[in-house]
């Protein structure tokens, strides 16, 4: 740490994408924590997107500088080439670090090796926030070559002043037993608007153009195989048999080829009148309120932001027992969990959530209370501020609770 500095007065925030998704949403809250400590924040995105303007509206300066390919997978020669590309990206980032002279570099993604390298070369402390899982547990990151998982952990150990993880699943899969004494668990948070929504279900449906007279199962998330849409569609015919008027409302965009594959599945299964692909929904709080139940059928989740968002709004959640979802949802208490791939189990859980209103209502109330206590924006900012203060005081991160979640 720079001698005599108790907290950062300037920060470089390295973010993979500015496209609307969970990581840049959490990034805005991290920026708020940095600003609360008095830091001016400059953001470098690898990919441009709509959320860049939102960062600028919060007082950040921004730019686009390509980086972040080292964990994309592929044949060994391509993985080796990606090491080289990120090393070159790190040199470009290092030039910007020397020009900006920040007190801290905050890297908000596991793919941000180049940002962490640049910080190390320039002698600037780095906070590395890890949000992803590897493909051995169904995630989308791949071990680099050469080096594999050992190289990832070695980079985290040698380049980061603090390593922040969003769930125990991420800690175990990515960090393992490395980085002892400097890893902090800070779960993702829900924006205030999810707690404050005052629309009725009918009003929410009218805004989204959804029918008022049908039971609706919402499936949020981008259209990617990891989100488990095919698993959901395999379970849907059983739900339709029991609930003939049910409608599945699926949000998000993604790979056009995958979208076409899902549409073909819907058509071949005779589900066209029971599935509505909504595309990108700007106001997800309104979407959750419009639904009778939200289903998160993912094959892998590092945390499960959509689950806590729906819980905060007050909509029951049925999700797969994977990764961070199994940490944020207690089966039968705050939501309902099923094993990924167990089609009949998912069918039964969805039908029950639509009709067992008394037990579902109790679960919804407990879930909403949990979100207020553990996953609120204030709690998140408080935890990030505490972590940053511990980093700048050169002390080990507290072994106590960060808003009720032990590190």
pLDDT tens track for 124-145: 999 999 999 999 999 999 999 9
Is 250 found in the same domain as 396? no
Is 316 found in the same domain as 272? yes
Whether 312 contacts 329, CB under 8 Å: no
pLDDT for the residue numbered 395 = 64
Is 398 found in the same domain as 264? no
pLDDT for the residue numbered 398 = 55
Is 206 found in the same domain as 144? no
- Give one DSSP letter per residue of 49-98, joined into a string: -THHHHHHHTT-EEEE-----TT---SHHHHHHHHHHHHHHHHHHHHHHH
* 405/407 Cα distance (integer angstroms): 6
pLDDT for the residue numbered 3 = 42
What is the domain range of residue 358?
192-374
What's the pTM value of the predicted model, to 2 decimals? 0.91
Is 154 inside any structural domain? yes
pLDDT for the residue numbered 22 = 86
Is 381 found in the same domain as 268? no
Is 94 found in the same domain as 40? yes
Is 68 inside any structural domain? yes
Is 226 found in the same domain as 167? no
Residue with tokens 């289903």: 295
Token pair in block for residue 163: 């390593």
Q: Give the residue ranges of the chain where pLDDT is below 70.
A: 1-6, 394-396, 398-407
Conformational region of residue 164, where left means phi above 0, alpha means psi within -120 to 50, and beta covers everything else: beta
Q: Residue 231 sits in a domain of what CATH number? A: 3.40.50.2000
């Amino acid at each position: 740490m720079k001698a005599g500095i108790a907290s950062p007065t300037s920060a470089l925030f390295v973010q993979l994408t500015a496209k609307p998704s969970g990581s840049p949403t959490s990034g805005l809250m991290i920026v708020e924590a940095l600003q609360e400590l008095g830091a001016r924040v400059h953001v470098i995105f690898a990919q441009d997107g709509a959320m860049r303007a939102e960062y600028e509206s919060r007082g950040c300066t921004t730019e686009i500088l390509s980086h972040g390919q080292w964990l994309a997978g592929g044949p060994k020669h391509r993985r080796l080439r990606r090491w080289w590309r990120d090393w070159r990206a790190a040199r470009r980032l290092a030039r910007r670090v020397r020009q900006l002279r920040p007190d801290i570099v905050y890297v908000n993604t596991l793919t941000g090796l180049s940002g962490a390298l640049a910080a190390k070369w320039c002698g600037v402390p780095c906070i590395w926030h890890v949000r992803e899982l590897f493909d051995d547990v169904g995630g989308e990151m791949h071990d680099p070559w050469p080096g594999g998982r050992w190289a990832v952990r070695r980079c985290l150990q040698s380049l980061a002043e603090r390593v922040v993880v969003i769930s125990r699943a991420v800690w175990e899969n990515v960090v393992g037993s490395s980085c002892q004494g400097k890893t902090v668990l800070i779960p993702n948070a829900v924006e205030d608007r999810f707690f404050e929504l005052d629309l009725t279900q009918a009003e929410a449906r009218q805004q989204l153009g959804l029918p008022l007279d049908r039971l609706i199962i919402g499936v949020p998330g981008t259209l990617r195989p990891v989100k488990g849409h095919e698993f959901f569609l395999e379970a849907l015919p059983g739900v339709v048999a029991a609930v003939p008027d049910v409608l599945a409302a699926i949000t998000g965009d993604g790979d056009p080829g995958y979208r076409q594959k899902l549409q073909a599945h819907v058509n071949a299964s005779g589900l066209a009148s029971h599935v509505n692909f909504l595309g990108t929904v700007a106001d997800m709080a309104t979407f959750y309120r419009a639904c009778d139940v939200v289903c998160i059928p993912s094959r892998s989740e590092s945390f499960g932001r959509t689950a806590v968002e729906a819980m905060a709004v007050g909509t029951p959640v049925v999700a797969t027992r994977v990764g961070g979802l199994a940490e944020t949802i207690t089966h039968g208490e705050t939501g309902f969990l099923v094993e990924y791939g167990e089609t009949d189990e998912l069918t039964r859980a969805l039908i029950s959530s639509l009709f067992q209103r008394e037990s579902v209502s109790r679960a919804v109330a407990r879930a909403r209370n949990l979100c207020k206590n553990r996953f609120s924006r204030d709690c998140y900012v408080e935890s990030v501020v505490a972590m940053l203060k511990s980093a700048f005081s050169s002390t080990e991160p507290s072994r106590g609770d960060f808003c009720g979640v032990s590190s």
